[in-house]
């Protein structure tokens, strides 16, 4: 996993120093990393969302998957029903903290080419999702 946060800024920082907490969305559905692709796609459809926060058995955020990623894997010739979400995370194991400066998180997201990034607390539990405006 890659932690994107560099150094926390004081809560009293001006608009140029906004934190991730000020701009993050709700985490939405959180699923376990041992879930299959088909079940994850069903959860997304039921929740009317295009992404899921993935956690391990201890409730620690391990990444984020999107509907497009899951559909591409499911439709590939190498797909089997034994593929689990943990098998897909790779570089998507990146996350940030709510106290991270927004500018740093945005820079990291652009550098890593991520459209969304899970936001975690000090114990690694998901608090929300930071999504870049396109």
CATH code, 126: 3.10.580.10
Domain count, the chain: 1
Which phi and psi (to 5°) does residue 9 adopt?
A: -110, 155
Mean pLDDT, the chain, integer: 84
Instruction: Choose the weakest-confidence range: 13-22, 42-51, 79-88, 100-109.
Output: 13-22
Instruction: Report the alpha-carbon distance of residue 31 to residue 117 in Å, rounded.
Output: 15
Q: Which residues pair with 130 in a beta bridge?
A: 117
> Do residues 119 and 20 touch, judged by C-beta distance below 8 A?
yes
- Per-residue pLDDT of 22-79, as tens digits, reads 888 888 899 999 999 999 999 999 999 999 999 999 989 999 999 999 999 999 998 9
- Per-residue pLDDT of 67-85, as tens digits, reads 999 999 999 998 999 999 9
Q: What is the 3-state secondary structure (H, E, C) of 116-129?
A: EEEEECCCCCEEEE
Which range marks the domain in which residue 56 is found?
Answer: 2-131
Instruction: Report the alpha-carbon distance of residue 69 to residue 118 in Å, rounded.
Output: 16
């Amino acid at each position: 996993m890659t932690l994107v946060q560099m150094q926390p800024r004081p809560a009293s920082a001006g608009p140029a120093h906004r934190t991730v907490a000020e701009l993050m969305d709700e985490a939405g559905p959180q699923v376990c990393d041992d879930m299959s692709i088909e079940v994850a796609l069903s959860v997304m459809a039921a929740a009317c969302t295009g992404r899921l926060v993935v956690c391990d058995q201890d409730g620690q955020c391990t990444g984020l998957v999107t509907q497009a990623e899951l559909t591409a894997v499911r439709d590939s010739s190498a797909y089997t029903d034994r593929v689990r979400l943990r098998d897909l995370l790779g570089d998507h194991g990146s996350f940030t903290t709510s106290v991270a400066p927004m500018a740093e998180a945005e820079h990291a997201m652009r550098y890593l080419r991520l459209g969304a990034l899970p936001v975690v607390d000090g114990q690694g539990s998901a608090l929300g999702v930071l999504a870049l405006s396109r």
